[in-house]
Amino acid sequence: MLKVSAKLALALGTCLAGGFAPPVLGQTADGVNSSADIIVNARRKEERLQDVPKTVNAVTASDLAKNNIQNFNEIASIVPGITLEDSGNGLVQNGGMRGASFDIDSGLPSPTVQFYLNDANVAPDWVFQSLYDIGQVEVLYGPQGTLRGRSAPSGSITITTKLPDLYKWGGYVAGTFVSAVNGAKEDYALNAPLIPGKLAVRIAGTVNDNRNNNIRNVNPTLYPATPYDRTRSERVSVRAEPIDSLEINLEYQRTRNHELDNLQTESICAIDSSIACDAEAGNSQRITASDRQSTVNGQRVVSNDTDIWNARVDWHILDQKISYVGQYALSHLSDEEPEDGANWFNDQAGVPGSTVYIGLTPPTFAPGPPFFAAGTANPYDKIAVVRSQYQSHEARIANETRIAGLFDYVAGFNTVDARTNTSYSLGGNFPTSVLASSLATGGLPVGPLGRSGNIEISYFGNVTVHPTPKLEISAGARHILDKILVPSATNPSGVAVQLPNVTHTIWTASASYHFTPDVMAYVNAGSAFRQGGANLGLQDGPEGYGAEPLSIEKYAQISPETSTSYEVGVKTQLLDRKLTLNLDYYHQ
């Protein structure tokens, strides 16, 4: 793969792009540090990365540029111990840390890793869509919840966009060309101090256009369209400091993503060596993953439009910092996916002597299914139309000057309101040999499955004690009230769903000791909680050439999940703070 990037700085007024006045602690507004120390907000205050008694990775704007990180999931390539996976259908985005992953199809409503955009909790799919004009990304490992947002058993990832600069004009245009997928990405930004020192606006955006997965369909006469992935996003940020003690940051981001791709398949005989390719599905062709081909009858088409409003207000009064952070996001998703994973329904249909593979144990074959005429385009697909709204609000208070020279505290409350309305339809006819007779007649009903969602209200507090200049002890708790908006429902097959409202309290505790400013040992522990859920409905079979296409997925009701974690480690900075070494043991 060849990547070529270019960046053009625009001289506006008398200053070049990127020339921003540094705020406190040596960190510039665009996320680049002016000293050897990396400054993070992992504990809701600006402090050295070296002083945080837990594992934290900070990815600055210069790190993103140096490694040519163009998409959010690429961050996993430069941060150890995390996985970021995007299914490409707009519905499923998976994030995991230290081996504990999350799949929305599991039935649990909240992920193991929580995501934050400009300090506000957001749904995972909205951070995967685009990545541009970023100040810093912080990856926090271990249980979260007594200091920020929502409870998370594995950790959290916070994305901070570049703030408007109150004093200097600036801007840039950057472009990247990726030859392997014939793609191009252009980012841009313009900073304008409308009232120097008081009011500034920053406009940024991205245009990303590529060939998506570049998978070829084996039947180009039916599906000649070339895969593509097109994203357009714009962001307007406003920063105001009308008085010295008050800072206001407002932001609006609009993202439009449209995709078309072919779902990649692999021959069952390439997976199971006991199955001969010449007997498989009436076709002797052997398709492997490296062939990058698709036998799926149909192409996936996804359209996802998202709008996010974000607000942050900080008021400094009487040596206290009173903060509010909130966001409202609305998305409209349309996802059309072919469900005939291996062209099973009409492969060689009606051809005398043709066979299809219908079972794994033992390998079983049957005459070609006469369900659809051979060469029929897309006889069986799934269409989902989803409207999602997600809003979060948090108010908190924290001291800015240490109380009696010993104590620091933070306290507040957080609310999250997540609601989804879904319309779901399956096209085509279902063979009675695959589905139960109650579902086979005319397929599943077309129309809305209904709405779902939950409201979470929580109260949290954390206290840190400094008995000596080198010793720090911290403890915190959060009480959670989780209300299911639709506590009972029935799926199309008549299975009832019952989800109760719950309350739960989580906690964290830590202790750290600084042997020197650059050597620290720490130990911490904490608990986490996730609401339960339900998993039910239809499940597509493996998308392998010759696989059986569809089965009934058993209904499962999942209880709320709790976990407890323990961590002990040592953090050091060496070679004049050019090398950081963390030794860590973690148990969950």
β-partners of residue 568 are 523, 585
Rounded-to-integer distance, Cα 152 and Cα 165, Å: 33
Rounded-to-integer distance, Cα 440 and Cα 140, Å: 48
β-partners of residue 214 are none
Task: Output the pLDDT for position 568.
Answer: 95
Task: Output the pLDDT for position 557.
Answer: 67
List CB contacts of 193: < 8 A, sequence separation 6 or more: 164, 165, 166, 167, 168, 169, 199, 200
Task: Output the pLDDT for position 122.
Answer: 84
List CB contacts of 394: < 8 A, sequence separation 6 or more: 120, 121, 149, 323, 324, 325, 326, 412, 413, 414, 415
Which tokens hold the place of 43? 């504990």
Could you list the beta-strand ranges (E) of 68-150: 82-86, 93-97, 113-117, 120-122, 134-141
Task: Output the pLDDT for position 4.
Answer: 44
Task: Output the pLDDT for position 79.
Answer: 86
Task: Output the pLDDT for position 131.
Answer: 86
Rounded-to-integer distance, Cα 542 and Cα 270, Å: 13
Tell me if the bond preceding 362 is cis, omega within 30° of 0: yes
Burial (CB count within 10 angstroms: exposed 0-12, middle 13-18, buried 19+), residue 251: buried
Task: Output the pLDDT for position 510.
Answer: 94
The position carrying tokens 């199971």 is 272
Q: What is the pLDDT along the chain (588 residues), one digit of tens a residue?
A: 344 444 443 333 323 333 333 333 333 333 334 456 788 888 888 888 888 888 888 888 888 888 888 888 888 888 888 877 776 665 666 777 776 666 555 555 677 888 898 988 887 777 777 889 999 999 888 888 788 778 888 888 889 999 999 999 999 998 888 765 578 889 999 999 999 999 999 999 999 988 888 888 877 888 888 899 899 999 999 999 999 999 999 999 999 999 998 888 777 777 777 766 654 444 456 778 888 888 777 888 888 999 999 999 999 999 999 999 999 999 998 888 877 666 655 554 444 444 444 444 444 444 444 444 556 666 567 777 888 899 999 999 999 999 999 999 999 999 999 888 877 665 554 443 344 433 444 444 444 455 677 889 999 999 999 999 999 999 999 999 988 776 555 554 555 666 778 899 999 999 999 999 899 999 999 998 888 776 655 444 444 444 444 444 455 667 788 889 999 999 998 888 778 888 989 998
Closest CA to 541 of 248, 302, 345: 345
The model's pTM: 0.80
Closest CA to 223 of 282, 296, 165: 296
Kind of pairing, strands 364-367 and 381-399? unpaired
Phi, psi of 372 (to 5 degrees): -135, 155
Measured between alpha carbons, how far is residue 94 from residues 55, 84, 251 in Å?
Answer: 21, 6, 26
Rounded-to-integer distance, Cα 553 and Cα 104, Å: 15
Task: Output the pLDDT for position 253.
Answer: 95
CB 210 within 8 A of CB 178: yes
CB 387 within 8 A of CB 305: no
Task: Output the pLDDT for position 313.
Answer: 97
CA 550 to mean position of chain CA atoms: 28
**Amino acid present at 85:** E
Task: Output the pLDDT for position 447.
Answer: 44
Burial (CB count within 10 angstroms: exposed 0-12, middle 13-18, buried 19+), residue 377: middle
